[in-house]
Structures are given as C-alpha cells and as structure tokens.
Chain A
Amino acid sequence: SQQGEEDPQALSIQEGENATMNCSYKTSINNLQWYRQNSGRGLVHLILIRSNEREKHSGRLRVTLDTSKKSSSLLITASRAADTASYFCATDAGGNTNAGKSTFGDGTTLTVKP
C-alpha cells in the first residue's frame, strides 16, 4: 500500500450522521493534513495536525493522529449534504522541509444523502 492511504474508498451516509475516514501511512512524518475536493475542483485545506499532537478540532471536524500506528482519522459530525466531496490525507515526511511535496492518498469519497 502507498503512503497516505485512506479507507474506506467510499462512504455513504444520511444527513445528520457522523462520518469517519481513516488514513494510514508508512514513514515518519512532520505533520499530516486533510484536504477536501469537490468534484472537478481543486483541493481545499481543512486541518493540519503535527506529529507531536494527538487530536485537533475545527468546527465540526475532529482529527486524531496515532504515530505509533501510523494512522489518522477524520471525523465529520452532524454531516450535511454540502459535505459531499472527496477527502484526502497528505503527509509531509520527516526531514522534508518542502511543504508542497506532500504525499497524497487516493481519497475517500463521501456522499451525504439529504
């Protein structure tokens, strides 16, 4: 499997439910970031969590990081139809000072039904 691999590949839920997406990676990291991509659009940065952090919140988003398991999760609470998008994790490898050379996973496609 590749660095920054998300699961599930696709997730379909009802509006109001919570959505959880997971990301696993292989090498040591400086930080891990989550992005959102609407169909046919560029990626929008959601949240960054550093390697020395375990949990971070931003609005309805909650991100956890477990460096011992090399995994992260993104939780979207009280989902809305507008949350329908693809979600990607991206890792910035340890020792890499080039923030743009992140490694992206293949994403989780979230569908929130009204």
Chain B
Amino acid sequence: NAGVMQNPRHLVRRRGQEARLRCSPMKGHSHVYWYRQLPEEGLKFMVYLQKENIIDESGMPKERFSAEFPKEGPSILRIQQVVRGDSAAYFCASSRGEKLFFGSGTQLSVL
C-alpha cells in the first residue's frame, strides 16, 4: 500500500500560468481532501471530493481554483492564473474512518 501519493513535490510557476496538482488516495479510499498550508501556519481545508462528486468546497476560493476527482485517475487541484499569494504547500489526504492519511504535499512557488 503506497499511501497517498502527490505529484509533483515542487512546482514553480510564473504569475498568470496554470498550476495542476495531482493526488492519488490510498488504495481503497474514495474520499479525497485538499488542504493548503502557508508558512508557519496550520492546514486550512479547501475541498472534499468523492469519485466524480464535489461534496464540500467551502474552503476553496471562488475564482481561479477548481478541483476534480474523476472516475479514473487521480484527483486534480487546478489553479488558474496563479498569483504570488498562491505560493504555499498543498496537501491531499484520504480518510479511513476518522483518520486522515496525508500525502507529502506539493510545494507551489509562484515567481
């Protein structure tokens, strides 16, 4: 069981470009959560998805951000027209019961 897999580990984008972050949950898990972590801060919930459905996106900015979890393949967090303020670590987690299992994150740097 490979655990929650995220890629890339590091992503550098220039302002205005698009960022695509991928997450494959643990085998057998069908729930995926995305969190954002700014330096020296805790994780902030962004969005909760099940296969082909967005269950809760209350923590996701209304513009430029979108997420999907297709029937086949990884979950994708997409950030369009990135700005410097989007620079952060983005973590994905999948759940079994009440426990969350986190990936190693994608560090997004916007130049």
Same assembly: yes
- Which residues of A does B touch, CB under 8 Å? 4, 31, 33, 40-45, 48, 88, 90, 92, 98-107
Q: In the bound complex, do residue A43 and residue B48 qualify as a contact, i.e. CB atoms below 8 Å apart?
A: no
Bound CA–CA A99/B44 (angstroms): 14
Contact A106:B40 (CB < 8 A) given known A98-B55, A100-B45: yes
> A91 CB to closest chain B CB, in angstroms?
11
> B4 CB to closest chain A CB, in angstroms?
7
Stretch in contact with the other chain, from B11-19, B63-71, B79-87, B97-105 = B97-105
B101 to chain A: closest residue by CB: A45
Q: In the bound complex, do residue B100 and residue A104 qualify as a contact, i.e. CB atoms below 8 Å apart?
A: no
A99 to chain B: closest residue by CB: B98
Contact A98:B48 (CB < 8 A) given known A42-B4, A42-B103: yes
Confirm or deny: B22 has a beta carbon within 8 angstroms of a beta carbon on chain A: no
Bound CA–CA A92/B99 (angstroms): 11
Known contacts A42-B91, A99-B95, A107-B41; 17 further A-B pairs (Cβ under 8 A): A33-B99, A40-B105, A41-B104, A43-B93, A48-B98, A90-B43, A100-B33, A100-B93, A100-B95, A100-B100, A101-B56, A101-B59, A102-B100, A104-B35, A104-B43, A106-B41, A106-B42
